[in-house]
Amino acid sequence: MKRTRFGLIGFAAAFMVSLASCAPSSSSTGAVNSNELRFTIISPQGAPAASLARYGKSEKLTLAQAQQVRAAFTSAESDFIIFDSVNGLKLAGDNYRLARMVTFGNLYVISTGNDDDGVMDDEDNIFSYGEGLVPDMAFKKVYPEIIPDNYGAQVSDTSPVLLSGTFEGQEVDYVVSSYPPIFAAMNNANKKTDLSVYSNVAEEFGEKYDTDGFPQAGLFIKKSLEENDTLKADLTSFLNQFDKDIEDLVNGASEAVKLLGEYGSVEEQADRFGFNANVLKGVQKTNALAFLAADKNPSLAGYDVFKSEFGFPITEDLLSSYYPDNA
């Protein structure tokens, strides 16, 4: 009999960081510091935050829980938002447009070693994260007969389950999670689980639907900002640097690892970003975080399969004028 599903209550944010509501100045003199963040931006901790490593010390960068990032679409105070792309497009309204697809398919089923027969089915206790978000939708497309028993609000909530193999006092057989928490847990000498990769959901999805994965995090720009011609040079500069940082992440993350190391201790790095430089270095040897270079961003037509399978609400009107022209 299927277990009753309990929604995991998201942890309350320890503090709220106010986001400046006014547009940044468009004037500049002299050389621009590439580590200076000139626009306000909010992102979840975890994989997408790696793209913002150079701005770790900036007060204009907020790294928060998913609920707080979701709320930013309504308040419209942030210049940029990184969020689950499907839900971000649904929340964009008249306020935001998609400027970049940031990550494309970082999702795995991890066995804790608790399942006696080693075959995942609906009788197993399965823990996942982000109910209703892209990873959850992708998992259910690949495993339509299986419904996770419990959910965390965000990927970091899978970490203690990966390490202990339990949730609310019950053994967990499988955890649906993403890197970097998977890497950190597998390399934790104090874990009480025998962790192994049961399946690569992105690969399974790709084989089923003939894609290279599925869209995850997207970078959204405030519509009023992109329509302000006086900010065009500053926005182009920011996005060019963002593209360079994504390229670095795709190709081993040497610069991002260096920048994280300069931020502070490994504990401070993890508290700010949700992971530390050592973890990032390990996972990005093979681009396990599935970052997507600007020239690999799909064209509008390239999203067609996701419209049918995810209800991906992409239209030309929701693409920013700064979105890469890869048609």
Residues ≥6 apart with Cβ < 8 Å to 262: none
Residue for token pair 């497309």: 141
Domain 41-104+215-318 grouped into CATH 3.40.190.10: yes
Check if the beta carbon of residue 266 is closer than 8 Å to that of residue 260. no
Q: Fold match between 41-104+215-318 and 105-209?
A: yes
End-to-end C-alpha distance for the chain, whole angstroms: 49
Q: Where are the domains of the chain?
A: 41-104+215-318, 105-209
Handedness of CA 43, 44, 46, 48 (dihedral sign): negative
pLDDT tens series, the chain, 327 aa: 344 333 433 333 332 333 333 444 333 333 446 789 999 999 999 999 999 999 999 999 999 988 999 999 999 999 999 999 989 999 999 999 999 999 998 999 999 999 999 999 999 999 999 998 889 999 999 999 999 999 999 899 999 999 999 999 999 999 999 999 999 999 999 999 999 999 999 999 999 999 888 999 999 999 999 999 999 999 999 999 999 999 999 999 999 999 999 999 999 999 999 999 999 999 999 999 999 999 999 999 889 889 888 888 899 999 999 999 865
Write down the architecture of domain 105-209 according to CATH: 3-Layer(aba) Sandwich (3.40)
Strand partners, 82: 219
Beta bridge partners of 197: 110
pTM score of the predicted model: 0.84
